[in-house]
Amino acid sequence: MKIQINDHRKIFAVQEEFNKFLPHMRIDFLSKSSHLKSSASEKLMDGSKTLGDCRVVHAKGDLTLLHSMTVADLKETLRDVYGLSVVVLRRSGTKWIETEENANFSLDEQDKK
């Protein structure tokens, strides 16, 4: 699946596309300041904001999501290519759990947990 990345895309639109591809997962976008500060200062961006509001690199393109891609690869690509910091979560019952501890598992493995 390809997700278009540009400064004018709304965060909620990217989140919806991601969730259609991986229905038991969620992606949250962090503020620009998260690139420079510790995780304690991370701030989640509101879905009504644009990608341009939360990134430091303003490259545009298509992010290709593959079921075999790891969470770590996804986060690295978003950070290095598009200047976006994200948190990837998976649903566990009624709760959302951060995937950081299992970042080397594929998106497919995370989605099926």
Annotate 37-98 with DSSP letters as a single string: S-GGG--BPPTTSBGGGGBS----EEEEP-TT-BHHHHHHHHHHHH-B-EEEEEEETTEEEE
Fold of the domain spanning 2-112: Ubiquitin-like (UB roll) (3.10.20)
Residue-wise pLDDT for 45-83, tens only, equals 999 999 999 998 899 999 999 999 999 999 999 999 999
pLDDT of 17 > 90? The answer is yes
Rounded Cα gap, residues 45 and 51, in angstroms: 9
Q: Give the pLDDT of residue 112.
A: 86
Which of 37-46, 75-84, 93-102 has the least mean pLDDT? 37-46
Residue-wise pLDDT for 73-91, tens only, equals 999 999 999 999 999 999 9
> In this structure, which amino acid lies at residue 47?
G
pTM given for the model: 0.87
